[in-house]
């Protein structure tokens, strides 16, 4: 059976690993709906991620992420691309695992740096030394990502290959 009624798939991982691009293609392949948590939060807040951080603070953004996971999206039939900090919040890793299949995408720090630095959607990297910040945040978060999701690397792989790896994991 495909589509509605299937357990959700949550894509987690660091900023810039390709969760949204992979998620959109995966949803098409699985005939499921696609939701990006950042996009959903922007709709609820009525403003962009960078404005939420600037005007309301990171703590408010994290609250909106929690609300999104708890009640803000369908319980089945959806591929969710999760913001990079979402699974790192207390209790969130277990909650995601209860709700569906969690897949963690990985990429090399250089790939991540090239994709994220200077992008306004990533206010956490709007600091004097974003490379150092990425290295620190990755060290802090990777153990949590690894214990939460089944790991899939995106380095040197096209989207179609990553999608087919995930569909195999989902079906086994």
Q: Which residues are annotated as a binding site?
A: 16-21, 38, 62, 84, 122, 141, 157
Using alpha carbons, list the distances in angstroms from residue 88 to 27, 30, 63: 24, 27, 13
Residue number, 72 or 123, with CB nearest to ligand S3P? 123
Question: What residues contact residue 63 under an 8 Å CB cut-off, 6+ apart?
Answer: none
Other C-beta atoms within 10 Å of 80: how many? 28
Residue number, 49 or 166, with CB nearest to ligand S3P? 49
Query: Which residues would be at the binding site for ligand S3P (CB under 6 A)?
Result: 15, 19, 38, 49, 83-85, 121-124
State the minimum distance, in angstroms, from the CB of residue 41 to ligand S3P: 8
In angstroms, the CA 153 to CA 114 distance is 17
Residue number, 120 or 158, with CB nearest to ligand S3P? 120
State the minimum distance, in angstroms, from the CB of residue 172 to ligand S3P: 27
Length of the chain: 172
């Amino acid at each position: 059976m495909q589509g509605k009624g299937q357990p959700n798939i949550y894509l987690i991982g660091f900023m810039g690993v390709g969760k949204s691009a992979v998620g959109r293609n995966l949803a098409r392949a699985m005939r499921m709906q696609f939701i990006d948590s950042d996009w959903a939060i922007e709709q609820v807040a009525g403003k962009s991620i960078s404005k939420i951080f600037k005007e309301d603070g990171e703590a408010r953004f994290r609250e909106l992420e929690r609300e999104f996971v708890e009640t803000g999206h369908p319980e089945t039939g959806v591929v969710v691309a999760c913001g990079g900090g979402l699974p790192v919040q207390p209790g969130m890793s277990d909650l995601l695992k209860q709700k569906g299949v969690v897949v963690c995408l990985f990429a090399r720090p250089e790939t991540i740096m090239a994709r994220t630095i200077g992008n306004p959607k990533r206010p956490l990297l709007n600091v004097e030394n974003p490379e150092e910040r990425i290295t620190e945040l990755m060290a802090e978060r990777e153990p949590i990502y690894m214990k939460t999701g089944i790991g899939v690397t995106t380095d040197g792989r096209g989207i179609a290959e990553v999608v087919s790896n995930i569909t195999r994991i989902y079906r086994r």
